[in-house]
Amino acid sequence: MNQDYIKPDNWSIIEEGFDVESVKSSESLFSIGNGAMGQRANFEENYSGETFQGSYIAGIYYPDKTKVGWWKNGYPEYFAKVLNAPNWIGIEIEINGENLDLNTCSEVKNFRRELNMKEGWYHRSFEATLKNGTEISVNIRRFLSIILDEVGIINYEITPLNKDAKIIYKPYIDAGVTNEDANWEEKFWEPLDVKNSANEAFVTAQTFKTHFKVTTFMQNSILINGEKTSISPSNIDATTDKIQFSYEVVVGQGQKSSIQKTGGYTVSLNHTNTQTAAEKVIQTALAKGYDQMLQDQIDAWAKIWEMSDITIDGDVKAQQGIRFNIFQLNQTYLGKDSRLNIGPKGFTGEKYGGSTYWDTEAYCIPFYMATKDQEVARNLLTYRYNQLDKAIENAVKLGFTNGAALYPMVTMNGEECHNEWEITFEEIHRNGAIAFAIYNFYRYTGDYSYIPEKGLEVLIGIARFWHQRANFSTNLNQYVILGVTGPNEYENNVNNNFYTNYIAKWCLDYTYEQIQKVSLEYPSDHKRISEKVKISDSELQSWKKVADNMYFPFSEEHNVYLQQDGFLDKDLVRVADLDRSQRPINQKWSWDRILRSPYIKQADVLQCFYFFEDHFSKEELKNNFEFYESFTVHESSLSPCVHSIQAALLDKMDMAYTFYLRTSRLDLDDYNKEVEEGCHITSMAGTWMSIVEGFGGMRIKEDKLHFSPKIPKEWNGYSFKINFRNQILKVDITHEQTSFSIDGQKDLSIVVNGKAIVVLANKSVSVEVN
Amino acid sequence: MNQDYIKPDNWSIIEEGFDVESVKSSESLFSIGNGAMGQRANFEENYSGETFQGSYIAGIYYPDKTKVGWWKNGYPEYFAKVLNAPNWIGIEIEINGENLDLNTCSEVKNFRRELNMKEGWYHRSFEATLKNGTEISVNIRRFLSIILDEVGIINYEITPLNKDAKIIYKPYIDAGVTNEDANWEEKFWEPLDVKNSANEAFVTAQTFKTHFKVTTFMQNSILINGEKTSISPSNIDATTDKIQFSYEVVVGQGQKSSIQKTGGYTVSLNHTNTQTAAEKVIQTALAKGYDQMLQDQIDAWAKIWEMSDITIDGDVKAQQGIRFNIFQLNQTYLGKDSRLNIGPKGFTGEKYGGSTYWDTEAYCIPFYMATKDQEVARNLLTYRYNQLDKAIENAVKLGFTNGAALYPMVTMNGEECHNEWEITFEEIHRNGAIAFAIYNFYRYTGDYSYIPEKGLEVLIGIARFWHQRANFSTNLNQYVILGVTGPNEYENNVNNNFYTNYIAKWCLDYTYEQIQKVSLEYPSDHKRISEKVKISDSELQSWKKVADNMYFPFSEEHNVYLQQDGFLDKDLVRVADLDRSQRPINQKWSWDRILRSPYIKQADVLQCFYFFEDHFSKEELKNNFEFYESFTVHESSLSPCVHSIQAALLDKMDMAYTFYLRTSRLDLDDYNKEVEEGCHITSMAGTWMSIVEGFGGMRIKEDKLHFSPKIPKEWNGYSFKINFRNQILKVDITHEQTSFSIDGQKDLSIVVNGKAIVVLANKSVSVEVN
């Protein structure tokens, strides 16, 4: 953990001082994205020090050939890699004959990065003394337009400080890029065409195998003292996959010059002719001009913040943390396109591959439901509906029949691409979260239509999977689920993981109920689906039998549900009694030692209590929370948020606050010493939940918003907004009271600390803290 | 399974007819070896069809960089690969200007291979019509000398059948070879030097990383009508890693010519100057001459067979099977060198890598104890003693302390080189077999000296491992061993595998007893070891506590020990009720499905009953055998032999015979459709056990040989010999009686069917079948 790395600020992420050791970490933290594309905060100019280059386009992937030590039947042949896309940000800089490279300059001073989250831009500035003695001041601003989401703009400005300078700006596009995590060091891009005209250039390339065609483009303008010039390229270098222009300017000491580079991608997912599309989008951007584009960006982000901001008063680090989380979520996914999803690293890195994990359903959907239009969450659900056939195919591969569906652990296009048997084949609980999200969407939005339209088919595929995956134990006289890995990946191939068994039973029950409901209320949908999936009453009875007789391991002694069979046979040394030097255990211990230890990577039984809070008493929660928290090492980014929410519910506010900080500043403070690989995007939605559901105590029960507001003693107050069934409720919480207000013309009945109140339209109502 | 592939014959393995589809399988089956080196039955001449080239030198390996999909802490960086060594058998053949290649000939007739196991040579013959119309008859004999074990000889004879022929023999040595299973397609050999003089050539190369230096050599003579000529090379081609001579002869129709190629390896493991050594060994071989070398070979094999042959009367396939097994074991390991061990594929393939598995201790040692001098088994034990430090290092890597030793799953030099967590870290039962072999050696040979000299230190390291690896379960109030993989690899990461728990307890008890015994009877050894390993009485008491309170899963309902916790929760469909089309499950099912199924890859609980037969009643054996046999799919080569032995003991002779055939003809009939990868060498010792211990009922109890002879109804009789404490006992079994006779001057007391009898020196005694 490095608490001094990022300067505390309410609205910006700021780094001061140049340190070669933190370049890769900062490249992650200062990443920018607009939902359609994103990029790490790589330098535009050459940099010979350690760097991790990354620019990513949503929906563009490469099925890299799987790499395994020992092949197991059922492994997928390909692993969908998040693709490092052609570089369009590059600008080589030559000053008085010397190439600018921060790694080789004589001196770098006043280096500063700022990611302005409020306005959605990234700025970098520094003063450098080159080996040739020229001192320069450099200011670079870069943003990816939310409005024109195929376009990014860089304004790269240089001022010579101690002498006149001949500056050559050499902007380029380079499709000769590779992935750091390529399995076989292959190239993923095949160059097709390089074109240029005047100040514009276009490199068209396509991905091998998947044949996504992408035109990467740039348009350059040179400015002197802020005024556009008509300077045109003095030289153009082109190869099969790269093109570079040279613009020469000679400026006096203290005179500013800059290059404005407009670049980005047009992709065959959206255009038949990507080059024509690129030409068009450049024209649109040029017509607006840099200043208007920037203003549009500021306005667009203002609109996003208007709905999704959480304010925290009196705790800058907590404020900065939550905004960073909300900002990154919005940079990653804006919900416009049901072909897209929320990758675990978003646009900040390549690691893990794939764009879609159970994280989306278990952690991200609540955030998007509450801070966006309902359509956004519905798009995320539709994504899985569209991949149902592939999930059925995947289940067939593993020996299931009759339309049983097993959604993949990791995917881009619906095909499984993870290859570690204990996860790929056994972390089947993911199927449960996908069903839960359908339930959760209806619970939150009140919009049932998704279920008869699409959701029910998904539910039936999932229920069929659980029905077949469970087997009857004559020994226990109940149904069991053997050989699984639960959310806690520090156990593999266990029997009767409580979370998995519970959500399996729930899926069966819930699907059964939805079939009844659709049959009654949506008879034509019921008919259509019945004909398609051919479900019989005896099959339904057979589901019911499994659901009604599911086995759940329980300890009478500890009065807790057991994470899995045999958990109590472990050497139950609590985390508090474990030598600090042994942690994190995932770095200090061999895998077998982790597996047989009692230590939990992430909430597992407690994840079940989180999803199905209403199914258990508060006393049950308390017993289970206290038991399992004592063994949880939180070495998954997805863990602390659930513990924070439950600690708050159990009035353990100090603990809740500690977990909140851990989840919200996980990347900013680099808790796990790995931020250089990218940020933990999906867990950021958990951070949002730990404020809204944890401290705010928001729940949906019987079509109503419930709150039981609490506030950490470190804060003066905090506020958030909720889009609940198309009404925007603002919640302001201080130590004294909680105020609710609503935009619009409709009143809203809510329940606060168990008491029903009505929030009148355009009026604030306050409730004292009880 | 292909029952018609190999022609039945008492002493030879014979293939008739040329089939490109079986070339790779035959290359495995017709492999030759002499303990120091071995090679697949690759053609000498060029072959453009599918082939798997392999020539191997005992003790020479390459630490290939590990390949994994997902790295786990504790994985070894390197995997010791069995190295494909430089090719010395190659002889290109040009006939009337055309290259001989069986894949492109116009016709191949009368193709025949014979591996003469009695005399230790391999012969191949065929008639071919070349595209240029020349018809030739070819006879090739090849053997690797047992006496001069650095040398092999090829006699390659050609007779033109329909016209005169200009024949160019182009013998070569090629160090530019690769491994089929190289992880990263790297070369493993660095060429150092290529030399030649007259008819001799030498290519010296060394392995990368391990720097084993090897001189590969050849000496060639040309014969016409069986007479050596003085024909010398007409051309010599040399590169940095290959050298090739050309010898031209012109022969008339019907005239025989041949090349005698003497080749082989001299290695830095045995020589300071490998080239000088090569020159010397060529001289020795030439001085003897081909005929004498062949006669030496026949004599050497006669000596091996004299001691190790098993005869079976009335069942040629069974006879061929057991001799193939005994032959291969002797080709692989002759026990002269304690640096060597018994690789799972011997010299017949590369697969699995490493030379040493638990197979050696669990399956091979009994064969070598009974058919060789005691020194051979002692050398195998010493191999592990010499690697004790590495086993301790390995345990430290996994978090163990205080001299605990975990022997590797797979090794060449003592370092672990397997990398699959569920096996590498969890298949810890291997440690038990290594201790058991020490006990077994003493039980069989009566020679206790190995224990105070070396064995006790190994036992202590192993006992310390088990002591630390078990943990106390407050829940069960007993010690448990969590997270293991037992011999049955169709279960991973299970708790309380019966076999593992049992052998762990036994190791603790046995080591404890040996410490007491050495302390009383070998006080100076005890002092030396005590000072080295610093063992205290309280540590010993602590072992005792674990051993005395070990938990064993047991089912009251079925009256059997449970393979592991939770076994009874499975869907217990017996193999007999499983659709045939689903088998072998390791090819038909995904890994997770195999894991949660009740199907057993190899004897597991029964392996325990095999090792510790005396600890259990026959009724217990019967219950457990019948229960587990019904779930065992025998998809490991190590499984059928144990079932065969136990079936015989339980008077299930039909079953015992079926298992016997399966184990003895596993490769010859290619049961698993994989013999092209190489033969299953280590399980061949299990085949030997299934006759001697199974049908013969041989056991050692209280320093005496016991027998309870049985005979399959398919046989007229069978016989075997046993070297028991330096006395050679011959056992002849028919349906009517069993005869025992002994070589030498000393009587031997044995027990037959529970009755003590004395076999008088040089006299036969018969016992009627009861």
Residue-wise pLDDT for B494-552, tens only, equals 999 999 999 999 999 999 999 999 999 999 999 999 999 999 999 999 999 999 999 99
**Would you say residue B575 has pLDDT above 60?**
yes
> Which residues of B are less than 8 Å from A399 in CB distance?
589-590, 593
Element (DSSP H or E) covering residue B328: helix B316-332
Quick count: other Cβ atoms within 10 Å of Cβ B755?
A: 9
Does residue B770 surpass a pLDDT of 60?
no
Nearest to B170 by CA among B94, B102, B96, B227: B94
Residue A583 maps to a domain: no
Categorize the per-residue pLDDT at A4 as very low, low, confident or very high, splitting at 50, 70 and 90.
confident
Q: Do A425 and B592 touch (CB under 8 A)?
A: yes
Instruction: Flag if B591 and A482 touch (Cβ within 8 Å).
Output: no
Active-site option among A350, A426, A427, A489:
A489
Give the active site residue among B135, B426, B489, B677: B489
Nearest chain B alpha carbon to A65? B69
For residue B58, what pLDDT band results from cuts at 50, 70 and 90? very high
Q: Are B563 and B605 in contact (CB under 8 A)?
A: yes
CB contact under 8 A, B592 and A398: yes
Between strands B704-707 and B748-752, the pairing is parallel
The answer to whether the CB atoms of A471 and B570 lie below 8 A apart is yes
Total domains present in chain A: 1
**How far A400 CA lies from chain B's nearest CA (Å)?**
10
- CA–CA distance, B611 with B622 (Å, rounded to integer): 15
Of all residues in chain A, the one with the smallest CA distance to B478 is A569
Tokens representing A616?
């258990």
Give the SS3 label for residue A439.
Answer: helix
**pLDDT category of residue A175 using cuts at 50, 70 and 90:** very high
Across the interface, which of B72, B586, B596 has its CB nearest the CB of A591?
B72
Cβ B399–A590 below 8 Å, yes or no? yes
Q: What mean pLDDT comes out for the span A465-480?
A: 98
Pick from B566, B588, B592: CB nearest A495: B566
Torsion of CA B325, B328, B332, B335, to 10 degrees: 60
Count CA atoms within 13 Å of residue A577 on its CB side: 7
> Given B72, B474, B590, which is nearest A399 (Cβ)?
B590
> Does position A3 have pLDDT exceeding 90, yes or no?
no
Q: CB A399 to CB B593 under 8 A?
A: yes
Residue B713 counted as domain residue:
no
Query: How far B540 CA sits from the closest chain A CA (Å)?
Result: 21
CA–CA dist A278, B590 (Å, integer): 46
Share above pLDDT 90 across residues of chain B, in percent, rounded to a whole number: 93
pLDDT at residue A180 in the model: 87
Band (B183; pLDDT cuts 50, 70, 90): confident
Residues of B in contact with A586 (CB under 8 A): 73
Q: If phi over 0 gives left and psi between -120 and 50 gives alpha, with beta otherwise, what is residue A555?
A: beta
Reported as a pLDDT band with limits 50, 70 and 90, residue B355 is confident
pLDDT surpasses 80 at B761? yes
Please tell me the predicted confidence (pLDDT) of residue A149.
Answer: 97
The pLDDT > 70 percentage for chain A reads 99
Least Cα separation, residue B592 to chain A (angstroms)? 6
Q: Which two tokens stand for residue B185?
A: 């397609």
Residue B52 pLDDT level (bands cut at 50, 70, 90)? very high
Cβ atoms of A297 and A147 within 8 Å: the answer is: yes
User: How many CA atoms within 13 Å lie on the side-chain side of A736?
Assistant: 1
B480/A593 Cβ within 8 A: no
CB A352 within 8 A of CB A418: no
Note whether residue A302 is domain-resident: yes
Phi and psi at residue B467, to the nearest 5°: -60, -40
Q: How close B634 gets to chain A, by Cα (Å)? A: 18
Give yes or no for residue A1 having a pLDDT over 80.
no
Considering only CB atoms, which chain B residues are within 8 Å of A480?
569
Statement: residue B737 has pLDDT above 60: yes
**Chain A residue numbers touching B422 (CB-CB < 8 A):** 493
Residue B25 domain-assigned? yes
pLDDT digits 0-9 by tens, A202-258: 999 999 999 999 999 999 999 999 999 999 999 999 999 999 999 999 999 999 999
Residue at B235 is within a domain: yes
Count H helices and E strands in chain B, helices first.
22, 33
Interatomic CA distance for residues A632 and A627, integer angstroms:
9
Measured CA to CA, the distance from residue B686 to residue A39 in angstroms comes to 61
Nearest to B590 among A397, A492, A594 (CB): A397
ipTM value: 0.94
Residue B309 lies in a domain: no
φ and ψ of A261, to 5 deg: -110, 120
- Give a yes or no: residue A367 inside a domain: no
What pTM does this model have?
0.95
Give the pairing of strands B717-724 and A554-555: unpaired
Q: What integer pLDDT is reported at residue B1 of this predicted model? A: 62
Q: What is the DSSP letter of B550?
A: B
Whether A467 and A542 have beta carbons less than 8 Å apart is answered as yes
* Structure confidence at residue A110 (pLDDT): 98
Which of chain A's residues have a Cβ under 8 Å away from the Cβ of B421?
A: 591-592
Report helix, strand or coil for A122.
strand
A394: CB partners within 8 A, 6+ apart: A405, A406, A407, A408, A415, A416
Q: How far apart are CA A174 and CA A238, in angstroms?
A: 10
Tokens of residue A204, six digits? 């068209």
Q: Is the dihedral of CA B711, B715, B719, B722 positive or negative?
A: negative
CATH number of the domain bearing residue A256: 2.70.98.40
Q: Is residue A619 among the annotated active site residues?
A: no
Dihedral of CA atoms A349, A355, A361, A364 in degrees, nearest 10, equals: 30
Would you call A590 and B425 a contact, using CB atoms and an 8 Å cutoff?
yes
A and B: number of Cβ contacts within 8 A: 135
Rounded average pLDDT over B174-198: 92
Range of the domain at A274: 12-306
The tens digit of pLDDT for each residue in B262-309 reads: 999 999 999 999 999 999 999 999 999 999 999 999 999 999 999 999
Average pLDDT over residues A417-433: 96
Closest-CA distance of chain A to residue B385, Å: 25
Average pLDDT over all residues of chain A: 96
CB A538 within 8 A of CB A483: no
Query: Closest residue of A to B595, CA-based?
Result: A483
CA distance B181 to chain A (A): 11
Residue from B766, B636, B682, B656 nearest B332 by CA: B682
In a domain? residue A716: no
Tokens 């022997």, located at residue: B407
CA-nearest residue of chain A to B185?
Answer: A184
Averaged pLDDT of chain B: 96
Handedness of CA B413, B415, B416, B417 (dihedral sign): negative
Q: Compare CB distances from A591 to B421, B480, B494 and report the shortest one's residue.
A: B421
Question: Who wins on pLDDT, A770 or B631?
Answer: B631
Nearest to A591 among B425, B480, B566 (CB): B425
